[in-house]
Structure 1
Amino acid sequence: MIRRRVNATYVQETKWTDEKVREIEDTGFKLYYNGKDRRRNEVGILIAKGFVENVVADIRKGDMIMLVKLVVGRNIVNVISAYAPQVELDYQTKRDFLEQMDEILQEIPVEENLIKSGDFNGHVGIDKLGYEMVHGGYDFGNRNEAGESILDFALTSNLTI
């Protein structure tokens, strides 16, 4: 991250427990992370030392979604890291995740910027048919059921993939 001058990055499957902020040794980066169970896939966001003082909030929704809000110049940037439930998990677990994602998105004022990254555990496929407004065309293969859910969520949330 230092060599490539990356200011923020997202991590999944952290395996750390608790809701904390920790400094990454000898880098100046701070890791904001969230997790309750070492056996589950938790999330985190690494922020570069030049931006750490610009963090004004960190919000967690469940174990798999978190947001770090930064002031960058005159802009407010909301950085979201998310890790969707695995494909084999039950429908209700997946529905709960999407509801939590929707809740956190609803808390972001329209005039603020949003950068969302993570793993939604689905394949949206190469075909954009019916999803031209949200599908950037940068995938491969066939769409699966989870991919369809991702595209539907993007449509209802005014997001682009």
Structure 2
Amino acid sequence: MMESPEKIISGVKAVPHSDLRGGTSRDCGSRRKKDENTKKTKDKPGRYATWNVRTLLQNSKLENLKMEMTNMDLDVLGIAEMRWPDEGDFWSGEYRIIHSGTIENKPGQGGVGVMLKKDLGKRVKGYVHRKGRVILVKLDTHPVNTTIIQVYMPTSQHEDSYVEEIYEEIQILLDQTKVDENVILMGDFNARVGRGEELPYVGQYGLGDRNERGDRLVELCAKNNLVITNTWFKHHERRIYTWKSPGDKYRTQIDYIIVRQRYRNQIKDSRSYASPDIASDHNMVMAKGIIKFKSLNRKTCKKWDMKLLKEDTRKKNYERKTDECEINMGENVHNNWTEIKTAIQKAAQETVKREKPTPRKEWITEEILEMI
């Protein structure tokens, strides 16, 4: 649990939330108490998904992914194999994207991330990532926090010792969460769990036979009271398989969405979808459930239209208004700053207009979307 901005998990700093789209918010009254920031609780249908996209290096891939996220009406999307070289946190249109960078000492390989719809993007409390294979994002939801953990596990070509190393990283993150937190662990686990032999962790509707890596995943679930959701719902095989071999010779299930057993009832359905297309051999896995959070009650910060001060008449008028303001300076620095700020704002309100927000134009056009 990221109790402070300086909390360190496995050598990586948990980064506090920052909305990168806006400017300063000191004049917007955003630093209010928590009970003033929130109103009544809202419940809404939620859609969580995970997808191994194989790569997002091409220029059009991110726009393609955003389009699929919109088409599927997703709230949260965990992404595997992004292959972006650096870690980052930014907004693209209505989505916030937090990503880890590639695997250590292996440029161009791995990389995980989480993409969030606007409502949840504003509720990020912190995040941490490790080794280009695991990323955790904590969300401010109600009545408890929601922790998203996206994973990209090593393939069968890697040694078991390396696989175990990644499982240890996952366990460290799980240990850092409170027992009552809503945890959603998802991703490409490169493991087959098959049909349920260890109820309630694995359901009756998994696909194929379990392998050794599947045993290790079930062991993790049993230790932490986790349920593999997309083995619990009866669907046609085409809604169960998540990966197909080259040439489509065989299909199997290796991508999962996993939740704590106490929150199992929040998931109303969980299945794979072959229709979203990003040139990957993996299908998207999506779980439908309930997201609960409090409505934010934040003021919108509007900037002053400073270019108006280039007009000589307006500039002189502003200077005159500031000179007319009475400022009572004392020994208290905070009070002095408040006096100065109030005077500046009063003069600006009488002479300078607020800047109208201009929506950023997306570089991609409808014609390009049709071609993708």
Partner of 2:33: none
Identify unmatched segments of 5+ residues in structure 1: none
Q: Distance in 2 between matches of 1:14 and 1:138?
A: 29
Partner of 2:90: 22
Partner of 1:4: 72
In the alignment, structure 1 residue 45 sits paired with structure 2 residue 111: no
Alpha carbons 1:9, 1:46 under 8 Å: kept: yes
In the alignment, structure 1 residue 92 sits paired with structure 2 residue 161: yes
Structure 1 SS opposite 2:140: strand
Bigger drift between 102-111 and 145-154 goes to 145-154
Alpha carbons 1:66, 1:82 under 8 Å: kept: yes
Residue deviations 1:23-59 (CA, integer Å, cap 9, x gap): 22xx310110002344321110001112211101011
Alpha carbons 1:61, 1:104 under 8 Å: kept: no
Partner of 1:54: 123
Q: Distance in 1 between matches of 2:199 and 2:142?
A: 33
Partner of 2:187: 118
Distance apart, 1:94 and its partner CA: 0.4
Q: Distance in 2 between matches of 1:102 and 1:137?
A: 26
Partner of 1:135: 202
Identify unmatched segments of 5+ residues in structure 2: 1-68, 229-372
Bigger drift between 98-107 and 134-143 goes to 134-143
Q: Distance in 2 between matches of 1:112 and 1:154?
A: 16
Using structure 1 for the length normalisation, give the TM-score. Answer: 0.91
Question: What amino acid maps onto 1:33 in structure 2?
Answer: H
Alpha carbons 2:201, 2:222 under 8 Å: kept: yes
In the alignment, structure 1 residue 156 sits paired with structure 2 residue 156: no
Residue deviations 1:84-127 (CA, integer Å, cap 9, x gap): 1111200110010010000000000012111111011011112x
Structure 1 SS opposite 2:185: strand
Distance apart, 1:18 and its partner CA: 1.9
Alpha carbons 1:10, 1:118 under 8 Å: kept: yes
Count residues in correspondence: 157
Q: Distance in 1 between matches of 2:156 and 2:97?
A: 27
Alpha carbons 1:34, 1:60 under 8 Å: kept: yes
Q: Which has the higher strand share?
A: 1
Q: Distance in 1 between matches of 2:131 and 2:70?
A: 30
Structure 1 SS opposite 2:108: coil
Larger radius of gyration: 2
Alpha carbons 1:124, 1:147 under 8 Å: kept: yes
Q: Distance in 1 between matches of 2:173 and 2:109?
A: 21
Q: Distance in 2 between matches of 1:154 and 1:101?
A: 11
Q: Which has the higher helix share?
A: 2
Dislocated runs of 4+, deviation >3 Å = none
